[in-house]
């Protein structure tokens, strides 16, 4: 370049860019400031007239030429050369990958200089679609091409030593055109991810504590029943579960039909209901997922789903003997349900009664028993009742969150101290060489 990296040249080029790029805006700003300070006399000064005329010419050029010209340029479709054959794509890919001096910088620069830990498999797939397939939409390619992409991704991970993680956009708190996958697909994806990690680090992830909260408890049924994931759950912690007793109308009504309580006769309105309605229930992605992508019977959770003694684990059937309900639950799994007493979404006390005794009715003495119960982590299913706490407050308030932390740490210590459980089943996910979803 003709400009060197000295202070005068740096300041000079920045000034030139400012004047050339924002001249019209600067002149317009000058006009309003001078008019506000000096009135008509100030803007009628010869210097002001010259600046205003220059600004008018610049604005006229922007409106009459630049905007139409930009529209003209953007109206043309991007150039697309003749598509490559698979053999040509493979040859080009492997040649390019073999000539990479710095794998990390290579991937980062092609993904807008993102941090390596933020780059996901789908980001690299998008780049490969652009570079080799001349498309930006993965739906434009066939099933065989998906296998080809997976082959390239696996080669990048192995040859370049990059630990690329999978990503599901609807879970990444992003506005995305991709809809939330069905519950079964979500559970399958989670099981596959843990299998990939277990393959890289043998011995790890043979046992783990599953912690879910609120909507996350909707996945517990599918994960517990998964033939590879379920037997590895040594501890199961459900915070503010909405999946238990899902057949009751409370969750559906409170999320989709309830009108938030307003202030009356000097009493404040139901602020928690307004918060749920505004921040969750009427949020576009949440509302769409609940109305169009949710099946309650796939997520409804019962005591027998999380109590190994109520199953025939060897036969892979529920205790009630339904042949179509296959599952393998770890015999040593322990479950704790953490329920706020004033939950504004679920039927809090009915859920607490169901967890504690198997009934859905309760009285005053039951609530006293829940409050006095001392968690020990040895029972198949236990209740931690947070009296007076609303949905989510158990994790947001220091004192209850300490109790939740103690439950999770207790289950983790139990898993570490227990002898290694023999694996009596073969996981097809451990045998998957490419770790495909």
What's 294-318 look like in SS3? Answer: CCHHHHCECHHHCCHHHEECCCCEE
Q: Are residues 100 and 239 in the same domain?
A: no
For residue 214, what is the domain's CATH number? 3.40.50
pLDDT digits (tens, 9 = 90+) for 410-428: 999 887 776 555 444 444 4
Residue/partner pairs of 15-23 with CB below 8 Å, 24 or more apart = 23/54, 23/55, 23/58
Pair 162, 299 in one domain: no
Q: Is the pTM of this model over 0.75?
A: no
Residue 20 half-sphere exposure toward CB, CA atoms < 13 A: 6
Q: Domain end: 47, 74, 101, which one?
A: 74
**Are 160 and 100 contacting, i.e. CB atoms less than 8 angstroms apart?**
yes
51 and 90, same domain (yes or no)? no
63 and 118 part of one domain: no
Same domain as 125, residue 96: yes
pLDDT given at position 402 = 86
Element of type H or E holding 337:
strand 334-340
Domain identity same for 148 and 243 = no
Residue 62 structural domain: 7-74
Specify the number of domains making up the chain. Answer: 3
Cα 241 to Cα 338: distance, rounded to the nearest angstrom: 8
Q: How far is CA 295 from the centre of its chain?
A: 19
Beta bridge partners of 340: 386
Predicted confidence (pLDDT) per residue in 351-405, tens digit: 999 999 998 999 999 999 999 999 998 899 999 999 989 888 888 777 778 889 9
Is residue 209 located within the same domain as residue 296? yes
* pLDDT tens column, 160-190: 777 777 666 555 555 666 677 888 888 998 9
Residues 238, 288, single domain; the answer is: yes
274's tokens: 């307004």
109 and 49: one domain? Answer: no
Q: pLDDT tens digits, the chain, 437 residues: what are they? A: 566 778 888 888 888 888 888 888 889 899 999 999 988 888 899 999 999 999 999 999 999 998 998 888 888 777 677 888 989 999 999 888 888 888 888 888 888 888 888 888 888 888 888 888 877 776 666 667 778 888 898 888 887 777 777 666 555 555 666 677 888 888 998 998 888 888 877 777 788 899 999 989 999 999 999 988 998 899 999 999 999 998 888 888 888 888 887 777 766 777 788 878 777 777 777 777 787 778 888 888 999 899 887 754 434 443 333 444 344 344 578 999 999 999 988 999 999 999 999 989 999 999 999 999 999 988 999 999 999 898 888 887 777 788 899 999 999 988 777 655 544 444 444 444 444 43
The whole-number pLDDT of residue 419 equals 57
Give the end of a domain, one of 124, 148, 167. 167
Angle between helical axes of 121-132 and 86-97 (0-180°, round to 10): 120
Vertex 191: Cα angle to 215 and 418 (nearest 5): 95
- Dump the DSSP string for 188-210: HHHHHHHHHHHHHSTTTTSSEEE
Residue 275 in domain: no
Q: How many CB atoms lie within 10 A of CB 243?
A: 24
Q: Are 157 and 116 in contact (CB under 8 A)?
A: no
For residues 314 and 410, state if they share a domain: yes
Residues 61 and 90 in one domain: no
| Both structure tokens of 190 | 């989670």
To the nearest 5 percent, what fractions of the chain are helix, strand and coil? 55, 10, 40
């Amino acid at each position: 370049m003709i400009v060197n990296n000295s202070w005068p040249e740096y300041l000079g080029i920045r000034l030139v860019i400012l004047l050339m790029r924002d001249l019209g805006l600067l002149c317009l700003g000058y006009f309003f400031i001078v008019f506000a300070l000096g009135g008509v006399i100030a803007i009628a000064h010869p210097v002001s007239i010259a600046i205003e005329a220059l600004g008018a010419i610049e604005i006229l050029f922007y409106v009459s030429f630049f905007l139409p010209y930009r529209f003209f340029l953007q109206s043309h479709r991007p150039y697309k050369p003749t598509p490559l054959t698979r053999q040509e794509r493979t040859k080009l890919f492997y040649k390019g990958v073999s000539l990479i001096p710095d794998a990390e910088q290579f991937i980062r620069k092609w993904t807008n200089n993102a941090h390596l830990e933020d780059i996901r498999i789908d980001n690299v797939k998008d780049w490969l679609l652009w570079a080799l397939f001349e498309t930006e939409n993965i739906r434009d390619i066939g099933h065989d091409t998906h296998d080809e992409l997976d082959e390239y991704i696996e080669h990048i991970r192995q040859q370049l030593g990059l630990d690329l993680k999978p990503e599901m956009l609807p879970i990444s708190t992003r506005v995305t055109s991709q809809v939330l996958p069905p519950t079964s697909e979500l559970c399958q994806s989670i099981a596959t991810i843990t299998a990939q990690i277990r393959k890289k680090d043998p011995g790890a992830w043979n046992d783990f504590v599953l912690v879910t909260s609120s909507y996350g408890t909707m996945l517990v049924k599918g994960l517990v029943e998964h033939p590879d994931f379920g037997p590895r759950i040594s501890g199961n912690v459900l915070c503010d579960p909405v999946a238990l007793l899902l057949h009751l109308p409370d969750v559906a009504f409170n999320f989709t039909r309830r009108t938030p309580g307003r202030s009356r006769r000097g009493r404040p309105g139901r602020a928690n209901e307004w918060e749920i309605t505004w921040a969750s229930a009427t949020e576009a992605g949440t509302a769409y997922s609940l109305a169009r992508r949710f099946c309650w019977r796939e997520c409804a959770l019962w005591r027998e789903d999380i109590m190994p003694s109520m199953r025939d684990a060897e036969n892979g059937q529920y205790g009630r003997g339904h042949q179509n309900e296959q599952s393998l639950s770890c015999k040593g799994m322990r479950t704790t349900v953490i329920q706020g007493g004033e939950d504004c979404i679920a039927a809090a006390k009915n859920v607490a009664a169901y967890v504690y005794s198997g009934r859905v009715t309760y009285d005053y003495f039951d609530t006293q028993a829940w409050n006095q119960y001392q968690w020990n982590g040895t029972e198949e299913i236990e209740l931690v009742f947070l009296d007076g706490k609303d949905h989510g407050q158990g994790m947001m308030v220091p004192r209850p969150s300490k109790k939740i932390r103690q439950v999770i740490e207790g289950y983790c210590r139990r898993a570490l101290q227990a002898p290694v459980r023999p694996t009596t089943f073969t996981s097809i996910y451990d045998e998957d060489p490419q770790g495909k979803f």
